[in-house]
């Protein structure tokens, strides 16, 4: 039986110093550096669970990060056959982008969403420089702002949602980043493609943000930690387990849940039924 585990990375498995919600870094492994400084961490407990998970399942990292940002991460597991970047815009096969998949994504976006240039221009016009630190376009697919959350008016996100929604774009706020992403650019679509190629019997998923909601809802079973946009909005869906653990403890609980769910699916299949 093939169990595919599709997991978001940032604030689901790996955490920045602030997102970890711990007083000290004891027991944490640095899995990403940027400009010679440590940036993201994985707990030793989660690392051990992740190692066990990749032995029992087909583990697929799924991230909104660009390909370049994803390459900075060094998880303590063997390289993955498949990885999904840019919120589903790029499918990596043994580290190499699949051009056929990317062309299909481009065609779908062209048919269903406003152009990136239009959305990016609106952000440039409306984001106040007093609280906007950076304005970026990612992989020529979506855009985002890096902001000072304490200075940014909460009304701006509502304004952004009101403008983006009729144009086929979604808004997600994750830490200091405010994303605008085409609604048709989905993690679940790329995961479905991988599941088909692997002939997976079951798909398990994990994530914490609004950009993960469709991924979790499409899976056979899924889990979210007790922090993030989904927890803050009390989002729920059938077959999605909501955990209470937060920060680095939430990452450990996510891995523990995925391990148990994978083992349960495999043992249930051996008995001739599935949960």
Reported as a single tens digit per residue, the pLDDT across 181-225 is 999 999 999 999 999 999 999 999 999 999 999 999 999 999 999
Last residue of a domain, one of 161, 182, 203: 182
Report the candidate in 118, 126, 125, 166 with the shortest Cα–Cα distance to residue 142. Answer: 118
Q: Please check whether residues 158 and 71 belong to one and the same domain.
A: no
Q: Please check whether residues 78 and 211 belong to one and the same domain.
A: yes
Distance CA 19, CA 17 (A): 6
Last residue of a domain, one of 182, 208, 232: 182
pLDDT value of residue 272:
44
Q: Please check whether residues 78 and 15 belong to one and the same domain.
A: yes
Give the range of the structural domain holding residue 163, as residue numbers without chain letter: 114-182
Q: Residue written as tokens 């815009």?
A: 89
Q: Please check whether residues 161 and 260 belong to one and the same domain.
A: no
Last residue of a domain, one of 182, 215, 236: 182
Percent of the chain surpassing pLDDT 70: 97
Distance CA 132, CA 202 (A): 42
Q: Please check whether residues 206 and 221 belong to one and the same domain.
A: yes
In a domain, 163, yes or no: yes
Q: Residue written as tokens 């996510």?
A: 254
pLDDT value of residue 273:
34
Tally of CB atoms within 10 A around 135: 15
Q: Please check whether residues 48 and 95 belong to one and the same domain.
A: yes
Percent of the chain surpassing pLDDT 90: 92
Considering all CA atoms of the chain, what is the largest pairwise distance in Å, rounded to the nearest integer?
61
Where is pLDDT greater, at 269 or 196? 196
Distance CA 262, CA 10 (A): 22
In a domain, 275, yes or no: no
Where is pLDDT greater, at 266 or 128? 128
For the chain, the average pLDDT equals 95
255 neighbors 248 (Cβ within 8 angstroms): no
Enter the pTM of the model: 0.94
Token couple for 188: 């679940």
Rounded to the nearest 5 percent, the helix, strand and coil shares of the chain are 40, 25, 30
pLDDT at 268 over 80: no
In the chain, how many domains are there? 2
In a domain, 198, yes or no: yes
247 neighbors 237 (Cβ within 8 angstroms): no
């Amino acid at each position: 039986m093939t169990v595919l585990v599709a997991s978001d990375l940032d604030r689901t498995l790996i955490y920045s110093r602030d997102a970890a919600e711990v007083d000290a870094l004891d027991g944490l492994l640095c899995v990403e550096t940027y400009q010679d400084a440590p940036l993201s961490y994985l707990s030793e407990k989660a690392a051990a669970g992740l190692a066990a998970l990749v032995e029992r399942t087909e583990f697929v990292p799924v991230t909104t990060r660009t390909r370049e940002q994803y390459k900075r991460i060094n998880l303590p597991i063997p390289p993955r056959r498949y990885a999904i970047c840019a919120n589903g815009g790029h499918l990596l096969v043994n580290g190499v982008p699949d051009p056929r998949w990317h062309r299909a994504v481009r065609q779908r976006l062209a048919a269903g969403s406003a152009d990136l240039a239009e959305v990016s221009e609106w952000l440039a016009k409306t984001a106040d420089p007093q609280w906007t630190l950076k304005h970026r376009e990612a992989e020529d697919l979506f855009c985002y702002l890096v902001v000072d959350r304490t200075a940014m008016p909460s009304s701006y996100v509502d304004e952004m949602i009101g403008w983006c929604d009729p144009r086929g774009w979604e808004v997600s706020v994750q830490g200091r980043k405010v994303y605008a992403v085409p609604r048709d650019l989905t993690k679940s679509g790329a995961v479905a493609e991988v599941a088909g190629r692997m002939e997976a019997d079951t798909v398990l998923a994990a994530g914490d943000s609004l950009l993960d909601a469709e991924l979790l809802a499409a899976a056979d079973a899924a889990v979210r930690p007790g922090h993030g946009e989904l927890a803050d909005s009390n989002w729920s869906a059938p077959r999605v387990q909501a955990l209470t653990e937060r920060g680095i403890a939430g990452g450990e609980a996510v891995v523990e849940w995925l391990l148990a769910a994978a083992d349960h699916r495999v043992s249930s299949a051996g008995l001739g039924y599935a949960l």
